[in-house]
């Protein structure tokens, strides 16, 4: 395609999308009984639990949304790169979560890709990681408590975008730097720009090494045997404008041979850049990076559950490119590693799997999910398209239950749609994003339900509830600094420094009051000594900007300077009992003369 024709193709695609929206169709012509039976498939009776946890990225909300499926009920949202008063998270200076987030960058983020820890190629229910595209960060959420436990800013990257667990045992977390910069070369010169893939320690998130990559890295995945890290690359032109980035008919899937990279590290074939070992793949004894040609500005990068293929989903090409992973380091010409390249429809973005040999590709421009038979497509059998389902509207990611593991359940698929348009009650010029739940257990897809979400879920991962519930704690383990039942007290530790310790339990704080002096540096430590789940307390100091949230067993601290003299009540912010309103005490600040 010439430059002009590819630009007009994009324009055409946008027009097509617009027409599809204008012709907003209603659900297909099921009878009322059919619709009732479809809706009963998402009905979860009062008191019963959903079968799946769904973790949706929060996009520009900066966190993770947790829904139950199939009901579509929002269970929790986990703040990661954003303050959230409800959970006492990063909202008050002088608290641990605030200081940790502030130390890595701004108090907001743009999260795209939640990923889950694996053992033996299946989810082990320990950790979830999520990127912050806007500030080059990655964070780990502990699934025992659904709380953010680590955040780092990844050195040498801009735009941490695609992230993935290296299967089958979470040997690394990989994170792509989508934008090319001068950091590796140190020269502000477009010809010296480079992009990066970082290989991180899963727990500490410290980079163990990074690999220089040509072009932009986009979405990431890994092979099932720990050998390969994959990324789509849409800018082999190495351009800095949109026109430049769509010049070529082909870009690539980049495959990084992890074993070869580790061998290069052992031979000392790296440079230290900002404290990180960086491998330049052009300077290693063994080949580390392979670029397999994929048309055109590909986006999704998805490995099949059996580990045979990695798929590059076309975006500007109506195709999915199926690459045989076993051939990557065997063929002379990397084109010979391509097993098939089926046409699927307009604007294909992401592909997911049911574990029964079918792939499901999201079509942004066509506003559809297309189901296709992988082996038939590879064999050139023209009947490889199995089904198409209209979605509302303009789907980005799509994800099937447990599709990223070696054992997908092939039960449900979520279509994460960018626009909801007329689907919900209007709330102003902008509308919620929409997720549609599709039953994929049969030959034909069945649309079950749609539920709105805060902006903007990009991707989702699922866990079977039965696999995660045993890991979720009933109460937080008492920390080393926990205040014991009889340990409430005030300690003056210096001429201008006071430590206040108290417990919280229905419906009383361990201290009815305490007194400090104006100008004192005050550290308050509170432990919620409840021993049963769901008995949360809080402590807000009226007009002092202080608010702690305390889950059962949890200890929280805050440090501040008592600048204002007077009486300041602290009160419980969680409605914990009939005497909740009486659960309060006084902080008295004596004026300094
Ligand atoms: Cu397709 Cu950031 Cu995963 Cu959004 S990316 S859709
Ligand atoms: Cu404790 Cu309300
Ligand atoms: Ca390109």
Which pLDDT tens digit goes with each residue over 156-177? 999 999 999 999 999 999 999 9
Tell how far the Cα of 248 is from the centroid of ligand 3, in angstroms.
5
- Ligand nearest to the CA of residue 236, numbered in listed order: 3
Backbone dihedral region of 487: left (phi > 0), alpha (psi from -120 to 50 degrees) or beta? alpha
Three-class SS of residue 31? coil
Q: Could you identify the atom of ligand 2 that is nearest to the CA of residue 536? A: 1
Does residue 396 line the site of ligand 1, with CB under 6 A? Answer: yes
Going by C-alpha positions, the residue among 311, 391, 353, 414 that lies closest to residue 55 is: 414
Q: Which of 57, 396, 455, 457 to mutate to test the pocket of ligand 1 (most atoms within 8 A of CB)?
A: 396
**Measured on CA atoms in the order 132, 138, 139, 143, is the torsion positive or negative?**
positive
Predicted local confidence at residue 4, as pLDDT = 41
Alpha-carbon gap, residue 151 to 311, rounded angstroms? 30
Does residue 572 line the site of ligand 2, with CB under 6 A? Answer: yes
Q: Could you identify the atom of ligand 2 that is nearest to the CA of residue 537? A: 1
- Ligand nearest to the CA of residue 573, numbered in listed order: 2
Which pLDDT tens digit goes with each residue over 390-438? 999 999 999 999 999 999 999 999 999 999 999 999 999 999 999 999 9
Does residue 529 line the site of ligand 2, with CB under 6 A? Answer: no
Predicted local confidence at residue 188, as pLDDT = 84
DSSP alpha helix (H) spans, 415-485: 465-468
Does residue 580 line the site of ligand 2, with CB under 6 A? Answer: yes
- Ligand nearest to the CA of residue 299, numbered in listed order: 1
Answer for the pair 411, 367: CB distance below 8 angstroms, yes or no.
Answer: no
Tokens in use for 553?
A: 């067993």
Going by C-alpha positions, the residue among 82, 92, 86 that lies closest to residue 58 is: 82
Q: Please determine, for residue 7, whether its predicted confidence score (pLDDT) is greater than 70.
A: no
Going by C-alpha positions, the residue among 59, 179, 195, 180 that lies closest to residue 131 is: 59
Which pLDDT tens digit goes with each residue over 505-518? 999 999 999 999 99
Predicted local confidence at residue 581, as pLDDT = 97
Which pLDDT tens digit goes with each residue over 20-48? 443 444 445 567 778 778 888 999 999 99
Q: Could you identify the atom of ligand 2 that is nearest to the CA of residue 507? A: 1
Three-class SS of residue 396? strand
Tell how far the Cα of 131 is from the centroid of ligand 1, in angstroms.
11
How many CA atoms within 13 Å lie on the side-chain side of 262?
Answer: 10
Tokens in use for 114?
A: 């939640």
Tokens in use for 102?
A: 């502030």
Find all residues with CB under 8 Å of 193, minimum gap 6, and list them: 180, 181, 182, 185, 238
Q: Please determine, for residue 12, whether its predicted confidence score (pLDDT) is greater than 60.
A: no
Q: Could you identify the atom of ligand 1 that is nearest to the CA of residue 219? A: 3
Name the percent of the chain lying above pLDDT 70: 95
Which pLDDT tens digit goes with each residue over 551-565? 999 999 999 999 999
- Ligand nearest to the CA of residue 551, numbered in listed order: 2
Residue of the CA atom closest to atom 4 of ligand 1:
458
DSSP letters of 299-314?
--EEE-TTSSEEEEE-
Collect residues with CB below 5 Å from ion ligand 3.
Answer: 251, 297
Does residue 584 line the site of ligand 2, with CB under 6 A? Answer: no
Does residue 418 line the site of ligand 1, with CB under 6 A? Answer: no
β strands within 306-394, DSSP E = 309-313, 320-324, 338-340, 348-353, 358-363, 368-373, 385-390
Which pLDDT tens digit goes with each residue over 436-466? 999 999 999 999 999 999 999 999 999 999 9
What is the radius of gyration, based on Cα positions, of the chain?
26
Residue of the CA atom closest to atom 1 of ligand 2:
537
- Ligand nearest to the CA of residue 248, numbered in listed order: 3
Q: Which of 56, 112, 232 to mutate to test the pocket of ligand 1 (most atoms within 8 A of CB)?
A: 112
DSSP alpha helix (H) spans, 431-501: 465-468
């Amino acid at each position: 395609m010439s430059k002009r024709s590819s630009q007009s193709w994009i324009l055409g695609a946008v027009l097509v999308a617009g027409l599809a929206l204008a012709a907003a169709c209603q659900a297909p012509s099921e009878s009322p009984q059919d619709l009732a039976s479809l809706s009963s498939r998402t009905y979860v009776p009062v008191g019963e639990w959903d079968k799946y946890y769904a973790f949706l990225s929060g996009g520009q909300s900066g966190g993770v949304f947790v829904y139950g499926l199939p009901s579509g009920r929002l269970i929790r949202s986990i703040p990661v790169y954003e303050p959230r008063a409800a959970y006492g998270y990063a909202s008050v200076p002088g608290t641990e979560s605030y200081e940790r987030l502030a130390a890595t960058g701004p108090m907001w983020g743009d999260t795209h890709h939640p990923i889950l820890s694996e053992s033996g190629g299946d989810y082990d229910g320990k950790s979830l990681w999520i990127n912050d595209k806007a500030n080059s960060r990655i964070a780990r959420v502990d699934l025992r408590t659904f709380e953010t436990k680590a955040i780092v800013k990844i050195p040498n990257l801009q735009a941490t975008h695609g992230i993935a667990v290296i299967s089958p045992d979470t040997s690394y977390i990989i994170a792509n730097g989508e934008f090319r910069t001068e950091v590796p070369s140190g020269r502000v010169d477009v010809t010296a720009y480079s992009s990066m893939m970082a290989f991180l320690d899963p727990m500490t998130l410290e980079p163990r090494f990074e690999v220089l990559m040509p072009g932009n890295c986009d979405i990431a995945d890994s092979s099932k045997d720990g050998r390969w890290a994959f990324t789509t690359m849409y800018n082999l032109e190495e351009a800095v404008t949109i026109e430049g980035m769509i010049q070529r008919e082909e870009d690539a899937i980049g495959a990084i041979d992890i074993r070869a990279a580790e061998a290069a590290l052992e031979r000392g074939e790296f440079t230290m850049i900002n404290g990180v070992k960086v491998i330049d793949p052009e300077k290693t004894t063994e080949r580390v990076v392979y670029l397999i040609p994929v048309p055109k500005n590909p986006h999704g990068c998805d490995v099949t559950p059996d580990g045979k293929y990695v798929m590059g989903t076309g975006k500007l090409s109506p195709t999915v490119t199926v690459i045989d992973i076993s051939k990557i380091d065997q063929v002379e010409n990397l084109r010979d590693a391509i097993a098939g390249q089926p046409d699927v429809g307009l604007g294909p973005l992401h592909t997911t799997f049911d574990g029964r040999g079918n792939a499901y590709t999201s079509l942004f421009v066509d506003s559809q999910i297309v189901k296709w038979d992988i082996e038939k497509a590879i064999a050139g059998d023209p009947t490889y398209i199995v089904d198409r389902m209209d979605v509302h509207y303009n789907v980005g990611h799509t994800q099937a239950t447990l599709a990223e593991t070696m054992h997908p359940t092939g039960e449900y698929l979520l279509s994460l749609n960018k626009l909801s348009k007329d689907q919900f009650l209007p709330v102003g010029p902008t509308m919620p994003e929409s997720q549609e739940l599709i039953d994929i257990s049969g030959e034909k897809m069945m649309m079950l339900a749609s539920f709105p979400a805060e902006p903007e879920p990009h991707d989702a991962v699922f866990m079977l509830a039965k696999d995660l519930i045993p890991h979720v704690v009933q109460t937080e383990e008492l920390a080393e600094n926990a205040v014991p039942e009889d340990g409430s007290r005030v300690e003056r530790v210096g001429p201008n420094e006071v430590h206040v310790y108290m417990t919280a339990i229905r419906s009383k704080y361990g201290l009815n009051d305490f007194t400090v002096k104006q100008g004192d540096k005050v550290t308050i430590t509170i432990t919620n000594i409840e021993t049963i789940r769901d008995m949360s307390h809080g402590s807000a100091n009226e007009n002092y900007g202080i608010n702690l949230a305390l889950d059962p067993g949890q200890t929280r601290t805050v440090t501040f300077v008592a600048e204002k003299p007077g009486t300041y009540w602290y009160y419980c912010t969680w409605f914990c009992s009939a005497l909740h309103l009486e659960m309060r005490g006084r902080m008295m600040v004596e004026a300094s003369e």
